[in-house]
Amino acid sequence: MAIDHRSHTPLYMQLAAFFRNQIESGQLRPGSALPSETRMTQEYGIGREAIRMAVSLLRSEGLVRTQRGHGSYVRDSVKRSTIELAAGSSAIARMPTRTERHNLGLDEGVPVLEIRDAEGETEVLPGDEVELTRPTKG
């Protein structure tokens, strides 16, 4: 069984670890639905709050996406487009602001890349869709 009520590890962490293993091992594939919250409360004998904390943890790790009124699903990794970091440019990784997340349509647990070019102009790119490269010279 996955859940041990007498363990020192919090229930929500045990449950998150259970699904994290399933996701990373491929038993739960991208796009697959997690059981509904009420289903999990019955299945594992855990209260709804602990269930929600577990799913929230997986969301914050970028493993799961939740759609209200619908369910929680394993995030399918988008194919990344490679972007060349121009000479004189720099890049940092950070979490998006609320408006950035909304504008870019980002799921929870997805950072952004903030690019600053030589002129000081900045651009914010979705962290799950971009790979930053510096090509080898000719």
Question: Which residues here bind its own copies, judged by CB under 8 A?
Answer: 60-62, 80, 82, 85-95, 97-98, 108-113, 118, 127-128, 130-137
| Shorter beta-carbon distance to its own copies: residue 43 or 49 | 49
User: Least CB distance from residue 14 to DNA, whole Å?
Assistant: 7
| Shorter beta-carbon distance to its own copies: residue 43 or 78 | 78
Specify the DSSP element, H or E, that contains 67.
strand 64-67
β-sheet bridge partners, residue 81 = 130
90 binds, among its own copies, DNA, none (CB under 5 to 8 A by kind): its own copies
The b/e string for 64-93 (b: 16+ C-beta within 10 A; e otherwise) is: bbbeeeeebbbbeeeeeeebeeeeebeeee
Contact assessment for residue 72 and residue 66, using Cβ atoms and an 8 Å cutoff = yes
| Shorter beta-carbon distance to its own copies: residue 40 or 58 | 58
- What is the length of the chain? 138
Contact assessment for residue 133 and residue 89, using Cβ atoms and an 8 Å cutoff = no
Stretch of 22-30, 51-59, 99-107, 111-119 lying at the interface with DNA (CB under 7 A): 51-59
Binding site for DNA (CB under 7 A): 8, 10-13, 34, 36-39, 41, 45-50, 52-53, 55, 66-72
